[in-house]
Structure 1
Amino acid sequence: DGRFQLSAAGEAYEVTYLLVCTGSDTLIPPIKGLSEIDYWTSKEALEITTLPRSLVIIGGGVIGMEFASFFNSMGVQVHVVEMMPEVLGAMDKETSGMLRSEYQKRGVNFHLNAKVIEVGKESVTIEKEGKTARIEAEKVLVSVGRKANLSQVGLDKLNIELLRNGVKVDEHMQTSHPRVYACGDITGHSMLAHTAIRESEVAINHILGVEDRMNYDCVPGVVYTNPEVAGVGKTEEELKASGISYHVQKLPMAYSGRFVAENELVNGLCKLILDDDDRVIGCHMLGNPVSELIVLAGLAVQHGYTVEEFQKTVFPHPTVGEIFHETLFA
């Protein structure tokens, strides 16, 4: 009758639809000596009861920077090794650079454009610009990314189409099989918890016949460092690479009096990216609490607000959020 047969924990089930949400696993790079040491992934780093004297973090993405922030605040000597010219991957480079500069001041050592070529029990050897260097490290944290968990879930029996590093889905989260849906990290698209929640809503709605579509253009990304970094929509780098015209309006976060009062001796940035019709297509912020504020910009991106339309939003005073009002009139 076309129903699926599943078994789990000794129980057998027959179902009409499948929603596959098997998540992702930490990607472990083939680095010489890594398998011979007791290295950490994010899982082990969250289970510790004592602090190391020094830590090398392999990978300066979101997870790597969050752990660098935490261990630096605990007094650990932290080194971050990143292959790219800047930390935080595909996030806005201006705010990423500002965050890195702040943590450099706090004592974190960054090794950009560098590759780890060997790991030992108490050291990490890196290569940069053709030269090698040795970093002493009591512990090593591997944080170079995650990969979709496609194995051992039976997808091979259904001949589900894959795309890049995950399961291919359409705007309804439907796979190449009309009654199999996939959500979360397994799609390899946006490996964020809030993305997975929204994807599952879209999938269930489609199964129930309710009109709904997934829109990745307005999914916020947040880095929970101190200060926080957040972004939504297009980045300058993305638009430049695509040859798409845009312009920027930005202001330091200090234009908000409450931000100054609550964040002594630090500053931040609010940057709005606009298309040729003055519509908000991106926003990137540095400062606390931008994790709470970025959803406002996300709404502007989602609904295609122009600067004029967004300006009509009334922001209470004094708040940090009124930085949007100041930036819109900048």
Structure 2
Amino acid sequence: KIDKNGISYTRENGKTEMMQSEIILNATGRCPNLENIGLDEIGVLYNAEGIKTDLQGKTSVPGVWACGDVTGRCLLAHAATREGIVAVNNMFGKKDMMRYKAIPNVIYTHPEVAGAGMTEQMLQQEEIGYKKNILPLNISGRFVAENGKKVGYVKVLTGSQYNEILGVHIIGGVASEMIYGISAFIEMEMRVEDIKEIVFPHPTVSEAIKEAICQIK
């Protein structure tokens, strides 16, 4: 709740707390601008979320392609770049296809927040069995040296049967600079046992990610 006294919010334990703030940012998201660009005239299918495309970038009309935020699939610049490459490759006869399961997302705040793969909510909704481990980033000496008493965490989600990496989420430090490696783990369908064989550089904050993964049995 926001009023002249500040922002009040309720924690998971039911306790209500108050926070003072000079500025409030209301980030409500974006929607594609599809008006008056001729989609109806040529028969391209779309809805309020965006232009309908397949994983090659094709629309409902042969020879018409779409990529980026206008498709409503993944409103991230790096996803749009890959979608554009996929579309152009297919235009010129090189088969290519988008995969969305490991695209990293980042919130550039202080501290940074980054994630790749599935969240717990997604796994629960799809009734996928999983294991979880959460580890503080301050087990890394470098994190402590660079961040002092600030805290950070890494959460790892793996499949309950094969221990494959399903998702990793980080808060703290330069999370944005580490999350790309997680995308590679997920794309390659790597398991906990595979990660154990990879040598991470020392001293780095990324070692905390490996430790969080390797603790899962």
Per-residue CA deviation, residues 249-273 of structure 1 (Å, 9 max, x unaligned), is 2211111111111111111111111
Contact 1:202–1:214 (CA<8 Å) still a contact in 2? Answer: yes
Partner of 1:219: 103
Larger gyration radius, structure 1 or structure 2: 1
Question: Which amino acid in 1 is paired with 2:178?
Answer: L
Partner of 1:181: 65
Verify: 1:248 aligned to 2:132, yes or no. Answer: yes
Per-residue CA deviation, residues 186-210 of structure 1 (Å, 9 max, x unaligned), is 1111111111101001001111111
Question: Which amino acid in 1 is paired with 2:142?
Answer: R
Give the CA RMSD over aligned residues: 2.6
- Aligned counterpart in structure 2 of residue 196 of structure 1, from 65, 71, 80: 80
In structure 2, what is the Cα distance between the partners aligned to 1:188 and 1:81?
33
Partner of 2:27: 143
In structure 1, what is the Cα distance between the partners aligned to 2:172 and 2:59?
39
In structure 2, what is the Cα distance between the partners aligned to 1:228 and 1:140?
18
Which has the larger displacement, 249-258 or 192-201?
A: 249-258
Q: How does 1:7-86 map to 2 (within 5 A)?
A: none
Contact 2:39–2:45 (CA<8 Å) still a contact in 1? Answer: no
Per-residue CA deviation, residues 57-96 of structure 1 (Å, 9 max, x unaligned), is xxxxxxxxxxxxxxxxxxxx996799xx99xxxxxxxxxx
Question: Which amino acid in 2 is paired with 1:320?
Answer: V
Q: TM-score, normalised by structure 2?
A: 0.87
Verify: 1:293 aligned to 2:175, yes or no. Answer: no
Question: Which amino acid in 2 is paired with 1:160?
Answer: V
Contact 1:253–1:323 (CA<8 Å) still a contact in 2? Answer: yes
Contact 1:255–1:323 (CA<8 Å) still a contact in 2? Answer: yes
SS in 2 for 1:217: coil
Contact 1:172–1:206 (CA<8 Å) still a contact in 2? Answer: yes
In structure 1, what is the Cα distance between the partners aligned to 2:144 and 2:5?
29
Identity of aligned residues (%): 38
Verify: 1:172 aligned to 2:76, yes or no. Answer: no
Contact 2:195–2:214 (CA<8 Å) still a contact in 1? Answer: no
In structure 2, what is the Cα distance between the partners aligned to 1:177 and 1:189?
18
SS in 2 for 1:200: helix
In structure 1, what is the Cα distance between the partners aligned to 2:103 and 2:185?
12
SS in 2 for 1:178: coil
Residues 240 and 257 of structure 1: is their aligned pair in 2 closer, same or farther, counting only changes over 3 Å?
same
- Aligned counterpart in structure 2 of residue 307 of structure 1, from 185, 192, 200: 192
Partner of 1:278: 163
Q: How does 1:225-264 map to 2 (within 5 A)?
A: 225-264=109-148
Contact 1:255–1:326 (CA<8 Å) still a contact in 2? Answer: no
Partner of 2:89: 205
Count of residues paired in the alignment: 208
Verify: 1:317 aligned to 2:206, yes or no. Answer: no
Per-residue CA deviation, residues 76-125 of structure 1 (Å, 9 max, x unaligned), is x996799xx99xxxxxxxxxx9xxxxxx99x556xxxxxxxxxxxxxxxx
How far apart are 1:211 and its partner, in Å? 2.0
SS in 2 for 1:319: coil
Which has the larger displacement, 150-159 or 281-290?
A: 150-159
Q: TM-score, normalised by structure 1?
A: 0.58
SS in 2 for 1:325: helix
In structure 1, what is the Cα distance between the partners aligned to 2:30 and 2:210?
37
Q: 4+ residue stretches of structure 1 with deviation over 3 A?
A: 77-82, 139-142
Per-residue CA deviation, residues 206-243 of structure 1 (Å, 9 max, x unaligned), is 11111211011011110000100001110001111221
For structure 2, which runs of at least 5 residues remain unmatched after alignment? none
